[in-house]
Amino acid sequence: MFNNFAALSPLLLSHAFLIEKKVATRVVLGTEIGGIDNITSLKNRKYRCRTNINREDIDNFYRMIDTACGKQKTLPYALERYNTSLLRKDIYDRILDIAISLESLISGNNELSFRLALYCAFISKKNKRQRQEAFDLVRLLYKARSAIVHGSISSNSSIEKIEQNWESIKKLAIGAMNYYLIYLSSNKKEDWDSHLKKLLFGNTKRVID
């Protein structure tokens, strides 16, 4: 999850390494990570972690991701879509990727746009005003996503509005994804739908403040 520890733009992991530790530690294999549209320009940026983050925070976070992914086998795909939404140049690709990552948090297809906006608002934001804004933003995101999928791009203003509010969309998405990761790391995945409904009716507390 690139943007959890980035101070500004998402941190770019440009290479992956396989490290072997026997008598001495050595790098067995190193490879460049491809599949990023604007990887050249991203490599030229300066990145830094937030000042309040230490090594233990990062280690604990990725341990939590491992636990959550062990319970929900489709979660790595959702995380991949979220990460690529931060790195793509084309706004259409960014919208599709981030919408797919959020859709993965909600089961079923009935009234998906409404339920997605409602649930994301509750898990990504704490107060009522912020939740109203988040609800409207996710509805707009889903409208833009549908316009792209169904080919009605030229006549749809929602795409332009999403591009104008992209930073807010990213913060909302990372809040929702992190909430799901934290919940799943210490609860059963079968209880997720019930937890969401209880949140709406005020019958349970958020797992994070």
pLDDT for 18-32, tens place per residue? 677 666 666 555 555
Reported confidence tier of residue 86, pLDDT bands at 50, 70, 90: confident
- CB contact at 8 A, 141 and 103: no
Judged against a pLDDT cut of 80, whether residue 6 lies above it is answered with no
Please report the pLDDT score of residue 174 as a whole number. Answer: 93
d(C-alpha 116, C-alpha 121), whole Å: 8
| Backbone torsions φ then ψ of 148, nearest 5 degrees | -65, -45
pLDDT attached to residue 152: 80
Neighbouring-strand partners of residue 16: 31
Each residue's pLDDT tens digit, 125-181:
999 899 999 999 999 999 999 999 988 877 678 999 999 999 999 999 999 999 999
Instruction: Tell me the CA end-to-end span of the chain in Å, nearest whole number.
Output: 20
Residue 139: how many other CB atoms lie within 10 Å = 18
How much is the mean pLDDT over the chain? Answer: 85
**C-alpha–C-alpha distance, residues 138 and 172, integer Å:** 9
Q: Interhelix angle for 166-186 vs 55-71, to 10°?
A: 70
